[in-house]
Structure 1
């Protein structure tokens, strides 16, 4: 189950979201040619990824930032960019371009620190924008808990798109990160669950001042937890019927 779009249009062009997406995609394409060469890609990630053990010892702290713009494969990149595309524009709309960029980077750094704290001796390189984007999701949940999100559910060969409130989709996602983080062996599975959870909490906390300036609970009462403007309306696509020739 994953989101494919929300019904929450933004009031301004999300230039920072576009720039972040372009940077992530462009950087990935630059090192894509060496992805099939294990020694070269390992050396590259050793230099630029987040390595918890080294950060714990006070070396290579820059990895907390550079790792946010690296990905381990095309699907990893595509999934992160989808989430950024869906949820990022609305936060940039509320925070402004510069404020959103600062928020995004802080959320990513907080996510990296959460991963370091969860496994301080790990030598495994950690890459991906997931932690920063988890922060975006946390901020989105606080501001727009009842925004409508279209979710694609896939069960073997069954495909279904349905609409749920943002708090359902984002709450389930966060609960899964906590569950998987608590039940997974450190370093196993290749997913930094604690970075996701840490980024989500950081994003929520970083958005609190903005939410309070908007009126706090009164902001929810005024908007009913939904976007402060009309929902986007999408036309339903239908499969054309073909008449049988007699």
Structure 2
């Protein structure tokens, strides 16, 4: 319904969103490796089965053959979040991470943001496993972690102007709470209305819930919630602070 394009929200505490960029690069690199052999290849299938989160396996209803076990038991609660089925799946998740991840990382700091992202991914897998405990279909995709980032952004910056592409065609500038609030409501509705679809709405809700709670614990103490205080980015010079005798324009 809404595709985020850009937000008018500069960084205030960090110079560069290193973790956000690293996560995007890692997800893209892993997708190129796992999808490079083709969607139907044995290598791709083995990677998805060995690294994806399979509720039936995690909950003890089924077992993987030894040749498909690629990581220690329990690690798939996180590794699944670095796999994607196709380019659109990858591009959609990385676009959300690009638009919203930098400001959440700014509010938390690099290390805490990385921990936050991983915990949200794990929470998405946990709730997915609770909703469909006997499913043998591998869960893949970063959407649980991304949902946590969206929830944190909404708590931090509901009033920030966000450019979105509405219905895939109409560019609109809206306060963040409108498109993100609608997106969150849609996840809840679909959890109960689309139980047989290919999208794991449970993973989305798990990530959202974790993100909404953890942002209160992981943010810097000086960072306000709900845009209660507007802070000027360090690179911006406030008009009142300029020297009184400064000319209004220069000559080149």
TM-score by length of structure 2 reads 0.81
Unaligned runs of 5+ in 1: 231-246
Superposed CA deviations along residues 73-126 of structure 1, whole A, max 9, x for unmatched, are 000000111000000000111111111101111111111111111111111100
Which whole-Å CA distance do the structure 2 matches of 1:154 and 1:123 have between them?
A: 34
Match of 1:182 in 2: 192
Superposed CA deviations along residues 140-166 of structure 1, whole A, max 9, x for unmatched, are 1111111111010236xxx21011111
Superposed CA deviations along residues 177-224 of structure 1, whole A, max 9, x for unmatched, are 111110112xx321011111110110010011356934766x74323x
Instruction: Specify which of 47, 52, 57 is matched with residue 54 of structure 1.
Output: 57
Match runs of 1:12-161 below 5 Å: 12-57=15-60, 60-154=73-167, 159-161=169-171
Kept in 1: contact 2:34–2:43 (CA 8 A): no
Kept in 2: contact 1:134–1:200 (CA 8 A): yes
Which whole-Å CA distance do the structure 2 matches of 1:64 and 1:43 have between them?
A: 17
Moved more, 35-44 or 121-130: 35-44
Q: Note closer, same or farther for the CA distance 1:7–1:82 as it changes in structure 2 (3 Å cut).
A: same
RMSD (Å), alpha carbons: 2.0
Q: Note closer, same or farther for the CA distance 1:22–1:220 as it changes in structure 2 (3 Å cut).
A: closer
Equivalenced residues, count: 220
**Bigger proportion of residues as helix:** 1
Secondary structure, counterpart of 2:96 in structure 1: helix
Secondary structure, counterpart of 1:221 in structure 2: coil
Q: Note closer, same or farther for the CA distance 1:98–1:132 as it changes in structure 2 (3 Å cut).
A: same
Deviation of 1:61 after TM superposition, in Å, equals: 1.5
Would you say 1:213 and 2:221 are equivalent positions? yes
Unaligned runs of 5+ in 2: 64-72, 234-252
Kept in 1: contact 2:112–2:218 (CA 8 A): no
Deviation of 1:45 after TM superposition, in Å, equals: 1.0
Which whole-Å CA distance do the structure 1 matches of 2:81 and 2:189 have between them?
A: 23
Secondary structure, counterpart of 2:36 in structure 1: helix
Match of 1:233 in 2: none
Kept in 1: contact 2:159–2:227 (CA 8 A): no
Secondary structure, counterpart of 1:163 in structure 2: strand
Would you say 1:171 and 2:172 are equivalent positions? no
Kept in 2: contact 1:142–1:211 (CA 8 A): no
Which whole-Å CA distance do the structure 2 matches of 1:197 and 1:114 have between them?
A: 8
